[in-house]
Amino acid sequence: MRFLFPLFLFSIFILSPLTVVAVGNTSTSQLSAVASGGSLCSSGKGLCNPLKAKSIEAFLGDILDYVVKIGTIFIVLMLVFVGFKFTAARGNAGELEKVRTMFLWTIVGALVILGAHVISDMITSTINTISQVS
């Protein structure tokens, strides 16, 4: 039962925008061509890449950018929530300790999300530099 809420969040924040993008990028003539047995490819043959990314590195970079954007929104909402909890604690020592722990883990989560983005950029620039030298 505990896994239903994260699954629900995953379906809302990940799958819904992808569906809108996939349907939003096709015209009615393309949809009717697919319905009549055609394809979305301009050549009309084989499978087409529905993604904007031309390589796996670009695809993973796009996913990371999307995760950072969504994570940033969650971080801001958590900081607002923690601020509310600080004011609602009203000096209660037990509640203040819980809120400080929430604040600490919110900051740790922010550092993990932003750190992943920085590490990805560093690895990408290093690989590009090495491949230009070779």
pLDDT tens digits, 92-111: 999 999 999 999 999 999 99
Same domain, 57 and 44: no
Domain that residue 21 falls in: 1-49
Within this chain, do residues 13 and 26 fall inside the same structural domain, yes or no? yes
Q: Where are the alpha helices (DSSP H) in the chain?
A: 4-10, 16-24, 28-35, 56-89, 93-133
What are the pLDDT digits (tens) for 80-89? 999 999 999 9
User: How distant, in Å, are the alpha carbons of 23, 70, 80, 88, 103 from that of 27?
Assistant: 8, 28, 41, 51, 47
Q: What is the C-alpha to C-alpha distance for residues 103 and 81, in angstroms, rounded to an integer?
A: 9
44: left (phi over 0), alpha (psi -120 to 50) or beta: left
pLDDT band at 20 (very low <50, low <70, confident <90, very high): very low
Judgement on whether residues 81 and 119 belong to the same structural domain of the protein: yes
Q: Which of 12, 31, 49 is the last residue of a domain?
A: 49
Model pTM score: 0.58
